[in-house]
Structure 1
Amino acid sequence: MRTTIAGLDVHTSHDDIAGREVVLWHHGSPQTGAILEPVRLAAEAHGLAVVSVARPAYAGSPRVPGRRVVDVARGLRPVLEGLGVASVISVGASGGGPHALACAAVMPQLVRAVVTLASPAPFVDEPWWFAGMQAPGGLRAAAVGEDDRRRFAATDEFDPAQFVDADYAALQGEWASLGADAGAADADGPDGLIDDDLAFTRPWGFAPAEVAASVLLVQGERDRVIPPAHARALAAVLPRATLELHPDDGHVSVLRHLGAALARVIGLARLHSADDSATF
């Protein structure tokens, strides 16, 4: 189902999800917010519905100039309230990762656990933050400012060396819908991606230490888009984080671990009801 709530373009895997636990899917950059089939299948294997919302400037969600990561999370609160969901597992892939964490900071009573896959870490103006990125031009330009980021967008071209062979295999197989959706988002124009990059290279509006929920950080060690140093940096500052490294995976192929990650955090969330000290 596709609808508009609080001015945002909202997708749900079922017509009525009131009272249900859901996977709140935070899409990558760029994407349209449509529910990808492997996400739906992974969630339904565990009895969960899916909610996915296009961030401002993507698809049918209007642009919000100057938006921060935390602003997106706050904008999702009325969406979840309007849908009547009971609880959330907040899951973010790539550019969705910071937003998945922000939701846990903003809505701690609703978010039971977090999964990130290839998420960037909070920006620091240090060489390690860009090291290992095959094509850091967009983020480097965003770190300077919006004008530089827009000039970069005017001539930006995809660098195929960003992806390893395992990524291309995933895009030709189970995650083909991700590539198609990224193409649709790109055709809508660059504003969503530009605003994402600006948000990632500015203060996020919350501190990782505010995330009380358990977080599973899933990362491919061959990732040339968001290198493993970012996952390690997040693990160091999140109070209840577990880092799961996959040596053979890149930026896209790491998504094949989504189902196993959901199984892991669902089991832990159940343990929390009896023992709040439980960890992965």
Structure 2
Amino acid sequence: MERLELADGRTLEYLVAGAPDALPLVVHNGTPSAAVLFEPIVASAARHGMKVVAYSRAGYGGSSPRPGRSVADVAGDITALLDALGDEEFVTVGWSGGGPHALASAALLPGRCLAAATLAGVAPYEADGLDWLDGMGEENIEEFGAVVAGEEPLTRFLTAQLPALADVQAAEIAAALGGLVSEVDRRALTDDFAAYTAAMFRASVATGIAGWRDDDLAFVRPWGFDLASITPPVSVWQGAEDRMVPYAHGRWLAAHLPGAAVHLEPAEGHLSLVVTAFDAVVAELAANSGR
């Protein structure tokens, strides 16, 4: 694990895997998550001439908290990280809660971000014409009920959830996620992917719930950028069997991201989409990068 000291005094935790001179694939993981590498993702990036740059958003793992952060604030951290690595251009993918952060990178760093993809990513909370909670599992509905109630109720709610994730093991992941996993997602939780998911959850809460809390609060506030302003090529990937981020979120994003390449997959879920489609996502990013 590497640490970068930022200009404002915060620390940013990150990992890099791949050839030093390869095009960076900046990976924004979900909520909650932290910088953990999954070998099939690293291998996919290498096949397409990229290296993986994974980082922990503010408040997760070894990254310092940044209370009150917006989704847009991630652009400054990515800029600092790429500068430290000596990389000018990059492509990016955001899974689940990482989706908005990938879109922020594309919107706010158009001279550097060559292409972006959102993979089962959430739409804006006040998106016109979208019932944001409709189709989510009961666990997410309860969590976001706490989010809209305010920071203190959310902190209490997440603190109560922390023990279940702090020591979760691969064999326990499906049970820990409860009604958030569809049948196709349960089948996707094979040994390696379940172990990766468990490791990511454990790392995400290793220092508390600050990152998780601040992610949730950022999702329901204005994101800090205009989706219609995004100029790099964007891809939208979403599964219909997703109980964490419902299919309607992908359809809404597809309709509101100008010129987006749209992949609405009727037989995929939130987790299975990563297992089955990630190489295709990276291949499209590589093609869109113009490299």
Q: In the alignment, what sits opposite 2:152?
A: 147
Whether the 8 Å CA contact 2:60–2:205 is kept in 1: the answer is no
Q: 1:215 aligns with which of 229, 234, 243?
A: 234
Distance in 1 of aligned mates of 2:249 and 2:80: 31
- In the alignment, the residues of structure 1 paired with residue 213 and residue 288 of structure 2 have an alpha-carbon distance, to the nearest angstrom, of 36
Match status 1:106 vs 2:105: no
Alignment of 1:1-280 (within 5 A): 2-6=2-6, 7-14=11-18, 17=20, 19-124=21-126, 128-134=131-137, 135=139, 136-156=141-161, 158-176=176-194, 177-256=196-275, 257-270=277-290
Q: Which amino acid aligns with 2:4?
A: T
Greater shift, 200-209 or 182-191, is seen at 182-191
Structure 1 runs not aligned, ≥5 long = 274-280
Query: 1-side partners of 2:120 and 2:223: how far apart?
Result: 17
Partner Cα separation in structure 1 for residue 30 and residue 155 of structure 2: 19
The one-letter amino acid paired with 2:229 is: E
Q: Quick one: which amino acid aligns to residue 109 of structure 1?
A: G
Change in Cα spacing, 1:240 to 1:24, as seen in structure 2 (3 Å) is same
Return the alpha-carbon distance in structure 2 between the equivalents of residues 42 and 190 of structure 1.
31
Question: Matched residues in 2 for 1:13 and 1:154: separation?
Answer: 33
Structure 2 residue matching 1:130: 3-state secondary structure? coil
Percent of residue pairs identical: 36
Residues 61, 154 of structure 1: CA spacing in aligned structure 2 closer, same or farther, 3 A cutoff?
closer
For residue 141 of structure 1, report the CA deviation from its aligned partner.
Answer: 1.7
Which whole-Å deviations, capped at 9, do the CAs of 1:17-54 have from their partners, x for residues lacking one? 3x531100001111121222222111111120011111
TM-score normalised by L of structure 2: 0.86
TM-score by length of structure 1 reads 0.89
Q: Is this contact kept in 1: 2:62–2:207, CA < 8 A?
A: no
8 Å contact 1:20–1:86 — kept in the other structure?
no
Quickly say closer, same or farther: Cα 1:174–1:215, change in 2 above 3 A: farther
Q: Which amino acid aligns with 1:151?
A: R
> 1:140 and 1:258 mapped to 2: Cα distance?
31
Letter in 1 for 2:132: W
- In the alignment, the residues of structure 2 paired with residue 131 and residue 74 of structure 1 have an alpha-carbon distance, to the nearest angstrom, of 33
CA-atom RMSD in angstroms: 2.0
Q: What is the distance in 2 between the residues matched to 1:168 and 1:186?
A: 23
How far residue 207 of structure 1 moved from its aligned partner, in angstroms, is 1.1
The alignment of Structure 1 onto Structure 2 pairs a total of residues equal to 269
Measured in 1, the distance between the counterparts of 2:14 and 2:118 equals 20
Unmatched tracts of structure 2, length 5 or more: 165-175
Moved more, 175-184 or 241-250: 175-184
CA distance in structure 2 between the aligned counterparts of 1:56 and 1:268, rounded to whole angstroms: 29
Deviation at 1:171, TM superposition (A): 2.2
- SS state at 2:125 partner: coil
**In 2: Cα distance, 1:170 partner to 1:104 partner:** 29
Distance in 2 (CA, whole Å) between partners of 1:66 and 1:59 is 18
Shift of 1:137: 1.6
